[in-house]
């Protein structure tokens, strides 16, 4: 379908208010679809194990998108699709996505649950607020990790001491600085062609447009085409789609469905996440998908409900429409804490054995720059080790449950951890206490059966 046909529907569809959209199109439709397909998360389940149920979740996602449509908040109108259009877009999703250039290229392929195909590793903390200095230090810390296949970054929120303001000249400058630093850092660590998920300092479409200037996006880089909660798009993101047309820049869909929000509990949120990624296949022209569930109370993706949701979404697409699914890891804990490492290991394991690729780490919920490359190293090592040894969901779930017990207390108390400069030294390497924690957790993981 022509992209401008979808844009046109955003100007000709029925008019609804935002409140009516939330209640009538999302809440009521999710309740009905979950009931019609008899869906529920089993008590305390961390992973999905049933392929027929995975297919049912996919079919429910199709049904939800068909009934609800997508709301263009810029026009106040509903964009509707037929089931045939939805399924056609799902079937047409790329079966491989190559990022980067030259010797640094990496190809993502759809993965299946219990697969020995190694997951791709995207390192970074998209959206985390950063100064220019901290941006450079943190990106360097994960870009140089050999286990990393693609890099991303936080958002520069001030330039030369001036706050970055949305859709203003400062946003353009911040975006240009972001790409400049990424170019310099990746070359410095010996990976000049590594793929980047970039334009993270771009809040509006203006920054995304600026990224197309010389020195900005390169072939094999990607940018985000996000849906707002729930099943909402705006003209800013539609312009991002148009901006990338006829260029080698990849579109990464992003949905951050709230578990416990408008879509209800984990089962309804999983259906809404599938519908959202399908919508971004259509309207966002997605090359690959980013699955980022958010727990309404705890935020973190390492909660049992969010891990189960990611597991279900990965398996739903594998059962019905294989595509590249990358799952975000945003733990509650910050750097310099063992709990962070336990969260990362559990979350990475759940995603890997369910058929997903890995992105992170958005430590400290991605809200503070209390992060480092060391936890990104652990994320990649756990995922690739689990796949290489052929770890199954049945074998992984008890390990994930044990790890979950080691950090469950932080959801009530919080665990911000330490800033980057407190866990990494002036030499750009982890401080000894942080490296010792990492080594101790690695030994615990080996004892649990992960062959790191």
Helix (H) or strand (E) run with residue 257 in it: none
Q: What is the mean pLDDT of the chain?
A: 97
CA dist 73 to 19, 182, 231, 452, Å? 11, 33, 10, 47
pLDDT in tens, 140-185: 999 999 999 999 999 999 999 999 999 999 999 999 999 999 999 9
pLDDT in tens, 304-351: 999 999 999 999 999 999 999 999 999 999 999 999 999 999 999 999
C-alpha–C-alpha distance, residues 45 and 40, integer Å? 10
Residue 156 lies in a domain: yes
Q: Max Cα separation, the chain?
A: 61
User: Number of folded domains in the chain?
Assistant: 1
pLDDT at 7 over 90: yes
On whether the CB atoms of residues 383 and 451 are closer than 8 A, the answer is no
pLDDT in tens, 85-106: 999 999 999 999 999 999 999 9
Residue 33 lies in a domain: no
* pLDDT tier, 378 (very low <50, low <70, confident <90, very high otherwise): very high
pLDDT in tens, 269-278: 999 999 999 9
* pLDDT tier, 1 (very low <50, low <70, confident <90, very high otherwise): confident
Residue 173 lies in a domain: yes
For the chain, report the end-to-end CA distance as a whole number of angstroms.
46
Q: What is the rounded average pLDDT of the residues 216-240?
A: 97
Residue 80 lies in a domain: no
pLDDT at 112 over 90: yes
Residues 6+ apart with CB under 8 A from 72: 10, 11, 13, 78, 79, 232, 233, 234, 235, 238
Residue 16 lies in a domain: no
pLDDT at 411 over 90: yes
pLDDT for res 78: 98
C-alpha–C-alpha distance, residues 179 and 174, integer Å? 9
Residue 23 lies in a domain: no
Query: CATH no. for residue 184?
Result: 3.20.20.460
Torsion angle (degrees, nearest 10) of CA 311, 314, 357, 197:
-120
pLDDT at 43 over 90: no
Range of the domain at 245: 97-448
User: Tokens 């990338």 map to which residue?
Assistant: 244
- What is the DSSP-derived secondary structure letter of residue 212? T
Residue 205 lies in a domain: yes
pLDDT at 246 over 90: yes
Write out the two tokens for 375: 């936890």
Residue 116 lies in a domain: yes
Q: Distance from CA of residue 205 to its chain's centroid?
A: 20
C-alpha–C-alpha distance, residues 124 and 70, integer Å? 29
Q: What percent of the chain clears pLDDT 70, i.e. is strictly above it?
A: 100
pTM of the model: 0.97
Task: Tell me the angle at which helices 28-36 and 266-282 cross, rounded to the nearest 10 degrees.
Answer: 110
- What is the DSSP-derived secondary structure letter of residue 103? G
Is the preceding omega at residue 362 within 30 degrees of 0, hence cis?
A: no
Write out the two tokens for 266: 């984990």
Nearest to 440 by CA among 373, 331, 341: 341
pLDDT for res 236: 95
């Amino acid at each position: 379908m022509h992209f401008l046909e979808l844009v046109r529907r955003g100007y000709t569809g029925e008019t609804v208010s935002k409140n009516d959209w939330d209640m009538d199109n999302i809440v009521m439709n999710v309740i009905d679809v979950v009931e019609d397909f008899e869906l529920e998360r089993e008590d305390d389940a961390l992973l999905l194990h049933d392929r027929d149920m995975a297919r049912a979740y996919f079919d429910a996602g199709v049904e939800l998108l068909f009934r609800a449509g997508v709301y263009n908040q810029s026009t106040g109108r509903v964009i509707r699709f037929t089931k045939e259009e939805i399924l056609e877009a799902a079937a047409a999703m790329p079966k491989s996505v190559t990022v980067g250039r030259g010797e640094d290229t990496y190809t993502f392929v759809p993965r299946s649950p219990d697969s020995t195909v190694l997951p791709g590793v995207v390192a970074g903390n998209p959206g985390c607020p950063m100064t220019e200095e901290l941006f450079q230090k943190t990106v360097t810390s994960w870009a140089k990790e050999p286990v990393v296949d693609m890099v991303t970054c936080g958002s520069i929120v001030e330039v030369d001491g001036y706050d970055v303001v949305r859709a203003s000249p400062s946003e353009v400058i911040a975006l240009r600085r972001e790409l400049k630093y990424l170019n310099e850092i990746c070359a410095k660590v010996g990976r000049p062609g590594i793929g980047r998920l970039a334009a993270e300092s771009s809040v509006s479409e203006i920054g995304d447009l600026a990224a197309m200037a010389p020195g900005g996006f390169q072939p094999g880089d990607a940018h985000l085409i996000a849906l707002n909660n729930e099943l909402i798009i705006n003209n800013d993101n539609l312009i991002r789609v148009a901006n990338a047309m006829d260029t080698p820049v990849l579109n990464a869909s992003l949905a951050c469905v709230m578990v416990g929000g408008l879509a209800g509990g984990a089962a309804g949120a999983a259906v809404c996440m599938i519908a959202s990624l399908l919508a971004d296949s259509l309207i966002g022209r997605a090359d690959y998908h980013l699955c980022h569930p958010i727990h309404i109370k705890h935020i973190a993706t390492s909660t049992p409900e969010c891990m189960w949701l990611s597991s279900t979404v990965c398996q739903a697409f594998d059962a019905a429409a294989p595509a590249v699914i990358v799952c975000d890891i945003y733990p509650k804990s910050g750097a310099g804490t063992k709990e962070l490492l336990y969260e990362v290991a559990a979350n990475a394991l759940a995603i890997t054995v369910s058929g997903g690729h890995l992105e992170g780490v958005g430590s400290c919920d991605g809200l503070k720059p209390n992060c480092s490359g060391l936890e990104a190293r652990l994320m990649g090592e756990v995922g690739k080790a689990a796949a290489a040894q052929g770890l199954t969901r049945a074998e992984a779930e008890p390990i994930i449950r044990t790890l979950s017990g080691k950090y469950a207390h932080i959801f009530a108390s919080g665990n911000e951890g330490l800033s980057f400069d407190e866990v990494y030294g002036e030499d750009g390497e982890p401080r000894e206490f942080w490296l010792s924690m990492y080594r101790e957790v690695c030994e615990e993981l080996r004892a649990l059966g992960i062959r790191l």
